[in-house]
Amino acid sequence: MGKIRIEGLKKSFGSNQVLKGIDVTVNEGEVVCVIGPSGSGKSTFLRCVNCLEDITAGRVIVDDRDLNSKDIDINKARENIGMVFQHFNLFPHFSVLKNIMFAPMELGKLNQEQARETALRLLDRVGLADKADSFPSQLSGGQKQRVAIARALAMNPDVMLFDEPTSALDPEMVGEVLGVMKDLAREGMTMIIVTHEMGFAREVADRVIFMDGGYIVEEGNPEQIFGKPQHERTISFLEKVL
Ligand code: ADP
Ligand code: MG
């Protein structure tokens, strides 16, 4: 029984079919890294898992709930799925603390006192206890991304989705963000991570999925994908990025 089951997922934008039939099961506590060339549909795939896109065909089932069935409360379902974006998407006019407190309070999940406690605990966890009263503009990219991770965690999700979380960062800040993600993986968080950090994928992923042209071309454990890729397209992609 997978925590996330994706069956026959297709997604088109107008006449552009971006996802052409994706089947994936992600088990509880599993870390899945998705790699592949630009434009292959990785972001669209993640956005479909988080209901940020209406899907064209197929099913996305999280915790045995079909996210596209008519009788599901989509906002409720999404509360259990945290998402972190390449460009952080923090609220610029809110302090760091308020960025993290906002969603759980707005959605009535925590009262102000609880939200503050949670935010401070999460800031400590991502190594930013001293930044509670700062504003996003006063933070480095790596710090912003760690706040964004803390903000996603404030909803107490049991799945985390990451879309190239380190791609917008200066190289010296990549490690601090990957470090937080490694901690989450160790703690058993179920994660799907779109990344170009092949070293990270190799070290942390239980499974690596190579996407190209709207399909999953190949998947396997890091050993298989990075050590003995089978498909021509996987081989040529890895030759370019490694
Ligand atoms: P990747 O993340 O692998 O680079 P994306 O999922 O972002 O790929 O994009 C795959 C394709 O989907 C691209 O051709 C892109 O132009 C198209 N696409 C993505 N989002 C939209 C959208 N909102 N409207 C129209 N086309 C889109
Ligand atoms: Mg993308």
Name the residue with the closest Cα to ligand 1, atom 23.
13
Q: How many CB atoms sit inside 10 A of residue 220's CB? A: 17
Write the CB contacts of 11 (distance below 8 Å, at least 6 apart in sequence): 17, 18, 19, 41, 44, 48, 53, 55, 56
In tens, the pLDDT along 114-172 reads 999 999 999 999 999 999 999 999 999 999 999 999 999 999 999 999 999 999 999 99
What spacing in Å lies between the alpha carbon of 237 and ligand 2's midpoint?
16
C-alpha closest to that of 28 among 182, 167, 187: 187
Q: What single letter denotes the amino acid at residue 240?
A: K
Interface predicted TM-score (ipTM) over 0.95: yes
In tens, the pLDDT along 23-34 reads 999 999 999 999
C-alpha closest to that of 160 among 211, 194, 113: 194
pTM of the predicted protein model: 0.97
Q: How many CB atoms sit inside 10 A of residue 228's CB? A: 10
Is the CB of residue 3 less than 8 Å from the CB of residue 63? Answer: yes
Please work out whether the CB of residue 18 comes within 6 Å of at least one atom of ligand 1: yes
